[in-house]
Amino acid sequence: MKAIKIFAVAAAIISAVSCGNTAKPAGVAKDLIPTKGEIDSVSYLLGVNLGSMIKGYNFGDVNYAEIKKGMDDFINAKGNQRDSNFTKQFKVNPESINEVMQNFIDKRRVYTAAVNKAAQDTYFEEVKKIAGVQASESGLCYLIKEPGNDVKPGPKDTVYVHYKLSLKDGSVIEEVPENDPSVMLTLDRVIPGWTEGLQLLGEGGKATLYVPAELGYGERGSNAIEPNTPLVFDITLDSVKHFVEAAKE
């Protein structure tokens, strides 16, 4: 489990720092001791590391006072970590971290998915009111800005495109600008909304695809895309390379 690995890395870092937090023996040269600036930098980066976990796994509103308490408890804990009595010093048994964290993440995901699903339904009611927007039986909404020529891709074809991916609030997630080389994609290896939508265009065509989560990344989401998030693609289909079935021997 990816989450478990990250938690383990964070624990190892904190453990290493706490092991080095020892008294300074008399007579040792001060230039051997980390400076205040170095201590501040390490402290800040530990915060960045923890912040990336909180944001990356959508923990939401965590209790920072309890985070501080957990850190202090670990740093001040006595004895060998391999001793069965070691974990009794903590408010919550650290050995249960996998179960507790995963249950929390799962619950947050289900909640976020439910909220986003309701918001998506409202969003598509408005999208369908946009002049020129059409809707397919699958739920895909699309606006053909330029139809392109008669060379259209099939469901197994390779396409070369420029595109911009946005969320419904206009936030841009990723983009291949017009002055950059086009990217190559195979239509049977992309999200269903792309497979369907690109087949509506000919070479040189331009369109905006309003992709519901069911035709995108679904209830699980992907990276910066939350569960049940609709996607908006502004796409230019530069060229098509038709799929050729391999000859049977």
Q: Quote the pTM value.
A: 0.72
Region 82-105 average pLDDT: 91
The CA-based angle 243-246-249, given to 5 degrees, is: 170
Tens digit of each residue's pLDDT (9 = 90 or more) over 124-170 = 999 999 999 999 999 999 999 999 999 999 999 999 999 999 999 99
CB atoms within 10 A of CB 125: 9
Q: Please name which of 59, 168, 144, 159 lies closest in space to residue 107, comparing C-alpha atoms.
A: 59
Q: Is the pLDDT of residue 45 over 60?
A: yes
Half-sphere exposure of 135 (CA within 13 A, CB side): 12
* DSSP assignment letter at 222: B
CB atoms within 10 A of CB 230: 25
